[in-house]
Structure formats: C-alpha cells, structure tokens
Chain A
C-alpha cells in the first residue's frame, strides 16, 4: 500500500544547480499534481497532468518543468534553482473523489 511516494524527502541545493523530484503512484490514477507550500500561501499548483504524456501549467509554473512519460510517474524539474524556490513540495494523484498526497519534499536553495 505505497500510495504516493515522493523522492527525495529533503534536499539542499546551491543557487543555479538543477534537480528532479520524482512522484510515483500505484493507484492507476489519471490525474497528478505538483504543489508548493509556503507559509501563509497555502498549496499553490505548479503543474499538473490529466494523463500519460500530458502536462498543463498551474498557478506558479515559472522556473519548473514537468514530464509524465509513464502513467505512474510525474517528474518535477528545476533547471536552475533560485532561493525563491525554497519550499515544501507536494505531489498528489487523484480521480475526482479524493486526492492522495505524498509526504512532501523539503527543498532549500542557498
């Protein structure tokens, strides 16, 4: 019963470095989402996908890219990290009636 698994759970990056966050779900859900959570800002949608091979922009997509090559995986990339991208990142998968979340990734960019 893995549900939604995010890797890594913690990461410290230097400004300008790149990294990829991996989200994997085993529930055969079509929809997957990436959010960032900042104090006082709630969860803001970065990008999302409604099926394998599709992606769409959310509220705060700048500085991030995503890919959904396989239905069960949704990758979030930071090409050139900036201190403003310091945040907690959550992945979720859903099919209408409930979204299931990963445990979050705490990313610090110094």
Chain B
C-alpha cells in the first residue's frame, strides 16, 4: 500500500521568508507522480507543483520548488519569498501508475505572518 507522511502539522513564517514543507512516501513501484496541493480557507484544492518520478530534475514553478529525493522517498516543497496569500493547508499527494490511486498526506497548516 502507498502511504504519504507529512510529519509537521503546522508551521508559521514571516512574510518574504523561505519555508520548507516536508513529505515522505512509501512505495515499491517506479512509475508514479508526486504533487503538492494548496487548500486556502475557501476550501478549493489548488495544484501547486508536480513531479514525475522518472524525471531527475526537480520541478520549479515561480516561487515554488521541490527537492525530490527518489532513493530516500522524500518530496519537500520550498516556498521562497512567502506571501500572505500562501496561508493555507498544504497537502502532499502520490499518484500510483497502474492502480491509478491518488493518495494524500494529512496536510500541514502554513501561516504567513505580516
């Protein structure tokens, strides 16, 4: 079974600072995708960034980047120049090729303070 672990339930950071959110996962397969989703108070789930397991290069989307360590099964999200609008729940997710299961971690509440 695939599992996704987010060990930090809550973090806070000052505006303009950099913060890293951690995620580990467990799988015996090689074909999968990893995602970070953001859920602001509106409850809408928003894709932040994705990483294909077969790609060695870490994904980057503007202020968001990942550190994908396949051997360690680690997938952390770095948010640079934090903004007030980054305040949200962040979920790490794993999509298994083959079974097509999409499994989420428990989430982490990030608060960006002015």
Interface residues of A, Cβ cutoff 8 Å to B: 30-31, 33, 35, 40-45, 48, 50, 56, 58-59, 88, 90, 92, 94, 96-99, 101, 103-104
A103–B43 CB distance below 8 A: yes
Complex Cα gap A44–B44 (Å): 16
B33–A103 CB distance below 8 A: no
Contact flags (1/0) for B63-104 with A, using CB distance below 8 Å?
000000000000000000000000000010101010111111
Number of contacting residues on B, CB 8 A? 23
B107–A42 CB distance below 8 A: yes
Complex Cα gap A90–B45 (Å): 9
A45–B102 CB distance below 8 A: yes
Q: List 14 A-B contacts (CB under 8 A).
A: A42-B91, A43-B107, A45-B101, A48-B102, A92-B45, A94-B102, A97-B33, A98-B47, A99-B37, A99-B47, A99-B93, A99-B102, A101-B45, A103-B43
Residues of B within 8 A of A104 (CB): 43
Complex Cα gap A89–B91 (Å): 16
Residues of B within 8 A of A33 (CB): 102
A40–B106 CB distance below 8 A: yes
Residue of A nearest to B42 (CB): A103
A42–B104 CB distance below 8 A: yes
Residues of B within 8 A of A35 (CB): 104
